[in-house]
Structure 1
């Protein structure tokens, strides 16, 4: 097993690999189970040596409980810099697994709306604590943020943060376009100093994804011509949920919460966070987000129909119930009281029987938006080639026919001209080929529609509910 040396001369044994990335690997440490060691790949250590040493010297790891800052430097037996130790983060999962409704049901099976809100508060507080250390995250995105089953948040990859030590600024050299503000799009990150306000944009994107079913705030339906990708929408300042629709030319995708579903203060905060860069000073800070979200959390009303739902008291009703009825499926897992010492089969049977079935699956045409990058079908391509070839041949043949009519023989010239006209009309008769291809496409679409309705409709739910009703009924008659 490989050994490394800490700054005080202790020999540390690297254990099994916890994870690997583009820069290096993270290992268990046999002598320090509460720590982990990041060892850089060959060629990477030299790039990070001075920054890591400055972070260790500043004892940043003592100034924020939310971040796995470098604790100590690690070298080889010959004194070559290899990496650093940091606190070991266990029992946490990617924030991406939390904000995606599908993965949330698997990775965070008990997470409800309150859990999402608490995670958003802790993420805001985490970023605020980083800014107090003099660091700027820079490359803020979902891959570096972890969440526990208690909604606690921890940030990793702190050695990529921008950090200023004395007169030296160690820049963050990378970034993800979907979390990068308008003013930094198409920027060379190694040539620009980031600011906390740049982080404020990326934080707002992550908070939006947590609260709006994983949707990106700049992904929606473009009301202009052509398609609109997220990167271009950010560059153009097209916040899809904004009330400034005349300027953004965007509207939200179907089956998403409304911007006002978390109250007027949160609605305004997101509007300010995603304004054009000329108004970047209006972006809420991380600390401001923590205060705003905490105010929402403290004033939530519980939904009388579903324990996993909650909403601001200023709203007239539960927006999640309305959204789930529209979608035809639940967005949060069912909650049961597991603390009861004795299970009442009668109550369980009643609960199963009265559980509402999902509505009919929504039409696929409403769920699937316009498909980018559509190309011509095989029949269309073939028809175009034939038409071009026939047109070229027709021009030549017509010229020959006219020559024959005037210089050689009028009969043969007329005959050739008639033949050209007949061939031209036949080459234009592509209706049959298109009809065949259209029929095949419709058949394939209907087959996929049946699969969709079977998977997303109430049939599977009814079958499973009847199964559990039979089990509960059988249990109830046992002696």
Structure 2
């Protein structure tokens, strides 16, 4: 028998298949005419605090600072619409959660834009220009959230969505850090590879802030523009063992900062495919926490790279789009090393 959830006003929804899971909860389809899903969190660290957090987010959906974030089509945020609990079982055993928009209705998982095979299968018209537009959309969305007092705290590929035009959506709103009146609802999650160095190295993470979000944004923009390559990927060039992205973060091992710090396969996209202004932003983001570029600074720089005349299409492969600052095609250079991030789509047989 499927799960049923009920709101505080007595409205019930029948849940269908489980469609996702994370470190805290599970996401289910909802049997409804509208595109909805439900997130259930079986064992939050502080159940009462979690219920209060979701209740405040549901209420804030109607507040001026949030209304603008939720405007437009398609919806950019999987915002909690109504608080629910499972209907069956003893009261102490019921699970809390909320109903939210189903992002699958308008988007693909963000990771589909970072993988050559997934791009070909799910976003077949995507080019480097699409990656630039997605980076711009993400930077603008994050900048708007920061302006309204929200800190994502655990910004990563798993809670992001993208469409073929480069529009971006975001989920896991219940993990954000925000204030409601005098009460602070702290962010508590962190993910390897997307955590700023100042929040690493301790058993208890320092609370997130806008600058730690800006570090994760820089990582994600790098992944978008270098066909999925993480900026802290690579084996230590000093002969030490590779441990993790976070270990490379703590020790400053990053190709874009110091080419001699890591060893990478020759087939990865060349670092010089990036425009100079973006390269400089990456260097600041990964070396200088006190002057880390903000989401607004990223948005301004990325928008400039999308202005007319700033992009060039390769004469050999029309799917190879690159900055005019590069005299020849970086994707053809990559293909010569045995891997093409934007290959020609195979022609359909007659």
Superposed pair shares fold, TM > 0.5: yes
Work out whether residues 256 and 282 of structure 2, in 8 Å CA contact, stay in contact via their aligned partners in 1. Answer: no
Of 49, 59, 62, the match for 2:67: 62
**Distance in 2 between residues matched to 1:220 and 1:75, nearest whole Å:** 45
Q: Deviations 1:289-317 (Å, cap 9, x if unpaired)?
A: 12211211221112222111112222212
Q: 2:158: which partner in 1?
A: 143
Work out whether residues 136 and 163 of structure 1, in 8 Å CA contact, stay in contact via their aligned partners in 2. Answer: yes
Q: 1:260: which partner in 2?
A: 272
**Bigger relative contact order, structure 1 or 2, given CA contacts below 8 A and separation 6+?**
2
1:290 and 2:299 matched: yes
Q: CA deviation at 1:227?
A: 2.0
How many correspondences in the alignment? 331
**Distance in 1 between residues matched to 2:44 and 2:252, nearest whole Å:** 39
Name stretches of at least 5 consecutive residues in structure 2 with no aligned partner: 71-75
Q: 2:12: which partner in 1?
A: 12
Bigger drift between 155-164 and 94-103 goes to 94-103
**Distance in 2 between residues matched to 1:43 and 1:321, nearest whole Å:** 49
Of 250, 259, 277, the match for 2:262: 250
Work out whether residues 182 and 237 of structure 1, in 8 Å CA contact, stay in contact via their aligned partners in 2. Answer: no
Name stretches of at least 5 consecutive residues in structure 1 with no aligned partner: 337-351, 353-467, 473-479
Q: For the structure 1 residues 5 and 63, does the alpha-carbon distance in structure 2 shift closer, same or farther, using more than 3 Å as the test?
A: farther
Of 330, 346, 369, the match for 2:340: 330
Work out whether residues 127 and 286 of structure 1, in 8 Å CA contact, stay in contact via their aligned partners in 2. Answer: yes
**Distance in 1 between residues matched to 2:238 and 2:206, nearest whole Å:** 33
Q: 2:73: which partner in 1?
A: none
Work out whether residues 273 and 330 of structure 2, in 8 Å CA contact, stay in contact via their aligned partners in 1. Answer: yes
Q: 2:184: which partner in 1?
A: 169
Of 164, 169, 176, the match for 1:154: 169
Q: CA deviation at 1:36?
A: 2.6
Work out whether residues 308 and 332 of structure 1, in 8 Å CA contact, stay in contact via their aligned partners in 2. Answer: yes
SS of the residue aligned with 1:83?
strand
Q: For the structure 1 residues 10 and 212, does the alpha-carbon distance in structure 2 shift closer, same or farther, using more than 3 Å as the test?
A: same
Q: CA deviation at 1:12?
A: 2.4
SS of the residue aligned with 1:177?
coil
SS of the residue aligned with 1:136?
coil
Q: 2:284: which partner in 1?
A: 272
1:71 and 2:72 matched: no
Q: How is 1:53-452 mapped onto 2 (pairs within 5 angstroms)? A: 53-59=55-61, 62-65=67-70, 66-75=76-85, 82-91=96-105, 92-189=107-204, 192-229=206-243, 230-242=245-257, 244=258, 249-250=261-262, 252-275=264-287, 279-298=288-307, 299-327=310-338, 329-334=339-344
**Distance in 2 between residues matched to 1:32 and 1:283, nearest whole Å:** 44
Structure 1 vs Structure 2 CA RMSD:
2.7
Q: CA deviation at 1:73?
A: 1.7
Q: CA deviation at 1:145?
A: 1.0
Q: For the structure 1 residues 38 and 140, does the alpha-carbon distance in structure 2 shift closer, same or farther, using more than 3 Å as the test?
A: same
Q: CA deviation at 1:75?
A: 4.2
Q: CA deviation at 1:325?
A: 2.0
Q: 1:398: which partner in 2?
A: none
1:48 and 2:50 matched: yes
**Distance in 2 between residues matched to 1:251 and 1:290, nearest whole Å:** 30
Q: CA deviation at 1:267?
A: 0.9
Work out whether residues 221 and 240 of structure 1, in 8 Å CA contact, stay in contact via their aligned partners in 2. Answer: no
Q: CA deviation at 1:106?
A: 2.5
**Distance in 1 between residues matched to 2:175 and 2:290, nearest whole Å:** 25
SS of the residue aligned with 1:274?
helix
Q: For the structure 1 residues 181 and 24, does the alpha-carbon distance in structure 2 shift closer, same or farther, using more than 3 Å as the test?
A: closer
Larger Rg: 1
Bigger drift between 301-310 and 101-110 goes to 101-110
**Distance in 1 between residues matched to 2:102 and 2:189, nearest whole Å:** 24
TM-score of the pair, normalised by structure 1: 0.63
